[in-house]
Chains A and B, each alone.
Chain A
Amino acid sequence: MNQLGKPLPRSGHYDGVLLVSVVLLCIFGVIMVYSSSAILARAANESDTVYLRAQVGKLIFGLGLLLVFMRLPYRVLAGRFAVWAFLGSILLLGLLLLPLGLAVVVRGTRRFLNLGLFVVQPAEFARISLVVFLSAWGARVGEERMRGDRRTLVVPLVAIGLVAGLIVLQPNLSSAVLVGMLGFVLLWSAGQPWQRLAVVLVPLVGVVAVSLRGYQLRRIVGFLEGLTGGGGSGLSYHLKQSLIAAGSGGLLGKGIGQGLQKYHYLPFPHTDSILGVVAEETGFLGVLVLFVVYGIVFLRGLRIARHAPDRFSGLLALGLTLSVAVNVFLHSAVVLGVGPATGVPLPFISHGGSSLLVHLTAMGMLLSISRHVRPETEAVQRTWVPGALSRVS
């Protein structure tokens, strides 16, 4: 894997803006986790700071991971690493479903894996390793062949299908759909014609729609009603609590720690509804600032993708950025009442180890790529012309 072609072009500078933005988000996250979890901890007869301490510990570990992947030459990821990481994720997902007693069963779902020292959420790791794998595959195949040969669709589809399928079985439909969407967008970005993807996608959507369970259908119908009817008495309890949190925050918010909706009104205030707490306590201004910082992260990510030195790093940077963005948007949409009710953590902010570690790892990879971008050149043609990056190997 050390024969990665031409020597790496490098500017030598990490993307400082990206790094600072991510660290700021993480610090803000620690504050909000404390604010939103203290009441929960107290109700469970725990110390107020029990979630806070856990979050800080995971953050330190996550920042360590970020540093490791930042220092790692990104091309290492494109080779065996991609395959092993992918197979490892599949293994973890598989372990969840096996009756080994390793799965933590929460309300009939098997989403968490107890590895003794840690409890991890394999779906999070699977998402990022799928991105790495698809990028590596896309780079290996090259734009030309990807476009011309419909057989190039087989391996990525099997990979996406494997990951999404195992996640569906947990069951966790929304995560599976998220992973699937991410995979397809990445394939399209790598050059698969959208018509070809649509041929696969349309029947798949049909199958999913038919096999929806009652509660899943109700959530989607409820969400559509909320979108069209504008709410009122038809609002579901949780949706209404989110909107109360955000709406009562107003422009300036009630002040950090002063929110009331976290007193058992909001479902999972420290994870799936944390934006509600942010909106209530810091107001619209707080949400806006948060979104601006996220926007900076996305723009830096896209910029790194655009100026990436090769096809693999370009696809990887794009995939990682999209992975964060999709999570941020879905979480926000749920809390703001414009998404189907589902549990998605807010990257860098929400309490939850796997999500934090995975997203920090992703940022580490992105930073590693950022060392090699050459923004000073009009690099559009050079980096993205199919010929320039056609093959890696």
Chain B
Amino acid sequence: MRSPKDGETAACWTMGPDRRLKFLAWALGGVWLFLVLRAAQVQLVQHARWDHEALLTQSRRQAISAHRGEIRTADGGVLARSVANWSLAVDPSRVTDPAALTMVLDSLGLVNATDFGRCLEEHAESRFAWVSRDILSEATIDVLLRRFPALSVRTEDKRLYPMGRAGGTIAGLVGRDQTALGGLETVYDAVLRGRDGAEVLLSDATAPAFQGFERTVVREPESGADIETTIHARIQEIVLGRMEAGVARAGAARGLCVVTRPATGEILAMVQVPSADPADPQTWNGPNLCVRPVTDSFEPGSSFKLVAFAASAEAGLLDPDEPINCYGGKRPCPGGRPITDHEPYGVLKTWEVMAHSSNIGTGVLAERVGAERFYRMEKSLGFGEATGIPLPGEGVGRVAEPAQWSARSLITMAFGQEVSVTAMQMAMAYGAVANGGNLMRPLLVRAVRNADGSPRDTIQPELVRPVLRLDAARELRDLFRRVVTDGTGKKAEIERLRPAGKTSTAQKFIREEGAYSTRRYVASFVGFAPYDEPKVLCLVLLDEPTSSIYGGNVAAPIFQEIVSDIWPFIAGEEAPPEERPVVWKQRELDARRPVPAVDGIAPALAGRIVREAGFRPRLLGAGVRVMQTEPPSGEMLLPGSVVTLRAGTPGDSGFVASAMPDVRGLPLRDALLRVHSAGGGARTQGGGWVVSQVPDPGAPLEPGALCLLTLGPDSSRAYMEFLDSERRTSWAVAAGNSPAEPPR
């Protein structure tokens, strides 16, 4: 195809037009074939590899957290329980309109506008920040997620402690990240926790699992086991109420109480005041999270006289009527100041030494028994060794060996100085006297059950060692009975129960001064009832009481109150179920429960209240107050039912003025929150739970109107009603109205 005229390029090989076209056609065909082959290579030959890569890229594995087991009480109550909770998170890098997002979240009461704005700024570079870890309703979530793609929702378990302060310390706490913070939660963490499952879910490149992709569960989560304690919820609550009142009455810094069944070593109640309140993170400090009856050691004082008397009885040297020289109240002692009694006694019979708590007389008994037998009895009763209770950080106290004793050690130890013990050790030692001479291991957890309810482990009462002969134990019980009838413990007397016990008033050893304080005391009473056939043992200890320093004056009355109050539960004389007083805190034991009254309350708080009552709140409408609920308050519903809250603003048609919420049975803090959020002010009387309120629940509440809340140590319905009528009268009198018409 060369052109003969083309002299310039004649020397070159040149294609003609048709060959050029053919060349191009072949070139195109070649590229076409190459690309088809390449597609075949990628799609057919390497298919498996890319399919695998696709799975790796498009899916992510995530843990399904296992349901944490419950901690239950012996009577079917719940110390700790996990419920699913919805939390809202934000991806700050995807927030397009921070102002709108902030405004909406603020109006829903989920965030504080300024705080959230700062949070967005601080996390601007990050992909994740919590918005709120408590979410109100599914409807709200749905709307939010549609409107703001930067938001995402996660479900996580939230730990509830239905008994509040009454159970908090024993149960311990679980933080948001599922770490146990003390108590049974820590010791049984591995059992309660269960095993997390795993799932693989397909997701897009920007948002985790948000497009409704399928999820494949790779491993089912295994729910944690439930723990059944020996704690009796009702007793625990009564004891807490009595202790809080008693500590306040005595002006004490702290108070401890342990209630056991001496025959088995079961712990029926264990209380400390102050204690951690699971609802209030500010109380979650170190001392409050320690179970102090188990962790804290103290110098026991007179209650330790048990050792000298027990050693004497076991050696056959105890004769209740034998006269003992008490040196007129002051006896010189080698190596220090003379030993004194709180009152000068000349000669006392042995039982009087115990009844009047003579230090000198007890020292004489201890000298007669001798150091070796005294020390053996100390150790035998379990002092200086861990009791083995399943709680973290148990203290062992301090009991020195005879080789380390000084010349006066035997005598001072006899009345409870130079040794330190825990409340639990003391309760167990007295338990040995009460049950006929057997030192029991404290029993706090009696069963572990699998999530399906089948038993996994049952823990029987355990004998540590026999300590006393039967008759020696009986002799000691008789002596302790006379402490209550004729001695320092008269205020512990309950006629029909005939308790026995020992008072104790121990000077606190001030380490900095190297001496015993003359102002700071530990007052305690440990006793059991009935003395001849003990069914219950109760130890009450007050740290630094101020109204009176004597255990017989401040601790014995609390013992008396507690033992009388709890006796029906101990003796199995509980009222038949239908007549049993309704305990507000235990309503959840019944399957159905009433819808709480939240009319007139801010929607955010109302949602919380409804959720805490076990329902799923659903918020409709916008507004500052809940106008009505559906179903109406008081209706009995199964837990988990949806309760619709209609919100409105004053001036809206159908807006109802605030109503006085029902705060009876609530702790003070919760009660105040509800009254305030309904627009009222409050005056309070007493401590503990709200037992009576004026105005009545549901009565219209003018903004700023004053309410009177009366609090008491007991929240049973009967007690409330009793107090209610009483307070109503006094309120009416104080307000100058006729008792028939309490002010609204």
Contacts and interface: CB of A to CB of B under 8 A. Distances in A.
Contacts of B202: 260
Interface stretch (A78-86, A107-115, A213-221, A241-249): A241-249
Given A148-B5, A261-B54, A291-B36, A298 B205 contact: no
A163 B14 CA distance: 28
Contacts of A261: 54, 58
Interface in A29-52: 39, 43, 45
Interface string A331-351: 011001110000000000000
A287 interface: yes
Contacts of A329: 31-32, 35
A193 interface: yes
Interface stretch (B16-24, B282-290, B325-333, B558-566): B16-24
Interface string B203-216: 11110000100000
Contact of B3 (A144, A195, A338): A144
B718 interface: no
A44 to B, nearest CB: 10
Interface stretch (B40-48, B189-197, B435-443, B685-693): B40-48
B38 interface: yes
B32 A148 contact: no
A120 B54 CA distance: 36
A137 interface: no
B508 to A, nearest CB: 68
A247 B149 CA distance: 31
Nearest to A280: B54
A248 B51 contact: yes
Contact of A264 (B3, B12, B50, B206): B206
Contact of B21 (A189, A241, A325): A189
B7 interface: yes
A291 B32 CA distance: 8
A45 B149 contact: yes
B250 to A, nearest CB: 66
B448 to A, nearest CB: 45
A306 interface: yes
B58 A247 contact: no
A246 B43 contact: yes
B44 A251 contact: yes
Q: In the complex, which of the residues B42, B47, B49 has the most CB atoms of chain A within 10 Å of its own CB atom?
A: B42
Contacts of A337: 38, 42
Size range of the interface on B? 35 or more
Contacts of B5: 144, 148
B6 interface: yes
Given A45-B149, A279-B43, A243 B57 contact: no
Contact of A265 (B34, B49, B205): B205
A284 B9 CA distance: 47
B42 A288 contact: no
A253 B203 CA distance: 19
Contacts of B18: 306, 380, 384
Given A144-B5, A291-B36, A43 B206 contact: yes
Given A39-B204, A43-B149, A283-B43, A318 B21 contact: yes
B20 A188 contact: yes
A346 B202 CA distance: 29
A263 B36 CA distance: 26
Contacts of A193: 9, 12, 14
Contact of B39 (A143, A240, A288, A299): A288
9 contacts: A147-B8, A148-B5, A240-B53, A243-B42, A247-B54, A251-B44, A279-B42, A291-B35, A336-B42
Interface of B: 3, 5-9, 12, 14, 16-18, 20-21, 24-25, 28, 31-32, 34-36, 38-40, 42-44, 46-47, 49-51, 53-54, 57-58, 149, 202-206, 211
Interface of A: 39, 43, 45, 143-144, 147-148, 150, 185, 188-189, 191, 193, 195-196, 240-241, 243-251, 260-261, 263-265, 279, 283-284, 287-288, 291, 294-295, 298-299, 302, 305-306, 314, 318, 322, 325, 329, 332-333, 336-338, 380, 384, 386
